[in-house]
Amino acid sequence: MNIEIKKSVKPIEYTKAIKYLENRVVEVNNNKSKELIWFLEHPSVYTAGSSYNKSEILDSSINLIKTKRGGKITWHGPGQLVCYFVLNLNNRKRDIRKFISIIENSIIKTLKEYDIESQSDRENIGIWVKSNNNIKKIAAIGIRIKKWIAYHGFSINIDNDLNNYNKIIPCGIKDKEVTNLRSIKNQNYNNLSDKILNNLINNLKI
């Protein structure tokens, strides 16, 4: 497997992580570095993708970082697992929809290992679970493609403070809430990144 696997124990500042990713994209494109899958956690931060709208900011006091990824506004912070990657689709199928499906299916399969049923949504990218008879978002996905190299990644809410989402319209979706795994089922999620990595690698057929 010609992919570097990184797991950061200490929280990584968002801007530092993105700079690292963008540099890695250039190196992978020039065949000077391995592909990357990187698990980490960020300090609390709000980020905006390329299609966000200012009306989705409900609290003007938040510090918003604009990014080059797809999608709208989301929050990252303690209690949330982030998985970034730099994966060269030139070495696989140049099919963005298929690649997103691989990400979605990897998350869905992983959550099933914790006896949590989840699903994707064609209209609203991400992974969703049923909670208290409502469909709520459990994982966000934001991807950018440059010269057929896919980067950025996805995040899964484990036991984060959900009040952070009250300051924005998460991912631009007004009629659906955000939840976390601990609210769905109170159990041990310490091995979540290992299980996701295993499913992601199997689905990518690396």
What digits encode the pLDDT tens for the residues 114-149? Answer: 999 999 988 888 999 988 788 999 999 989 999 999
Among 30, 29, 148, 150, which Cα is nearest to 90's?
148
Q: Look up the CATH number of the domain holding residue 69.
A: 3.30.930.10
- Reported as type and span, the H/E element at residue 29 is helix 14-29
Q: Are 194 and 74 in contact (CB under 8 A)?
A: no
pTM of the model: 0.93
Report residue 53 as tokens.
């709208």
List the domain range (segments joined by +) for residue 111: 3-204
| Ranges under pLDDT 50 in the chain | none
Residues recognised as catalytic: 171
Number of domains into which the chain is organized:
1
Of the chain, the percentage scoring pLDDT greater than 90 comes to 80
Write down the pLDDT at residue 50. Answer: 82
Whats the size of the chain, residue-wise? 206
